[in-house]
Amino acid sequence: MDITKAEKVQGSRRFLVRISLSSLFAAFTAAGAFIAIPVGPVPIVLQNLFAVLSGLILGPVLGTAAVGLYLLAGILNFPVFAGGVGGIARFAGPTGGYLLGYLFAAFTAGLIAGQPKSKTSLIRIIIAVIAGLLIIYIPGVTWLKVSRNMDLTRALIAGFIPFIIGDILKGIAAVLIAPRLRRIAADLLDKP
């Protein structure tokens, strides 16, 4: 079976759009690290919002790829983590579990919301946002507890409680912008 030149161009275009969108959301996640409010061992940042939006807007595979690209940039010592730092050592520090949680967040939000081209109800988007934001805290608080030798109560007080109000506000923002961005992403991903 011969592939025509038009099919090759179409395939290349789709590949470039996917790479571009994944890179864009990786860049958004990195930018979210520069808005950091220190409140203890774990700062308040916008990275979690962009990790959830990656999955919500791009779907589970591309969204997770975007967060993976962001984490790879950090591992390679690009200054994309909170505080403008990078390096694999960040995964051993108190925020390491949260960084890993961003992968789970993108995948979970994308899995619940479905592919951008699918018709998704507002309720499903709300559930995807809540699940995506909450799942970050499983590895985040667990690793904070282990890395700082805390009991679970102290880890929750330091690594979860201070973030609830901010996450509610981020979640509302995600729910408000996701439907429109999903339509835009679907149009871009489906164009021949």
pLDDT bucket at 171, cuts 50 / 70 / 90: very high
* Per-residue pLDDT tens over the stretch 137-170: 999 999 999 999 999 999 999 999 999 999 999 9
Nearest to 124 by CA among 22, 116, 102: 116
Question: Does the structure show a pLDDT above 90 at 13?
Answer: no
Is residue 117 assigned to a domain?
Answer: yes
Dihedral (CA of 71, 74, 80, 83) sign = positive
pTM for the full model? Answer: 0.91
Q: How much is the CA Rg of the chain, to the nearest whole Å?
A: 17
* Per-residue pLDDT tens over the stretch 45-91: 999 999 999 999 999 999 999 999 999 999 999 999 998 999 999 99
Burial pattern 54-86, b for ≥16 Cβ within 10 A else e, equals: bbbbbbbbbbbbbbbbbbebbbeeeebbbeeeb
Q: Which CATH number covers residue 144?
A: 1.10.1760.20
- What pLDDT does 184 receive? 94
The range of the structural domain enclosing residue 86 comes to 9-190
Residue 170 token pair: 């981020």
- What pLDDT does 36 receive? 81
* Per-residue pLDDT tens over the stretch 90-99: 999 999 999 9
Dihedral (CA of 70, 75, 80, 81) sign = positive
- What pLDDT does 4 receive? 78
Region of residue 133 (left: phi > 0; alpha: psi -120 to 50; beta: else): alpha
Total of domains in the chain: 1
CA torsion 95-96-99-104 (nearest 10°) is -120
Is residue 2 assigned to a domain?
Answer: no
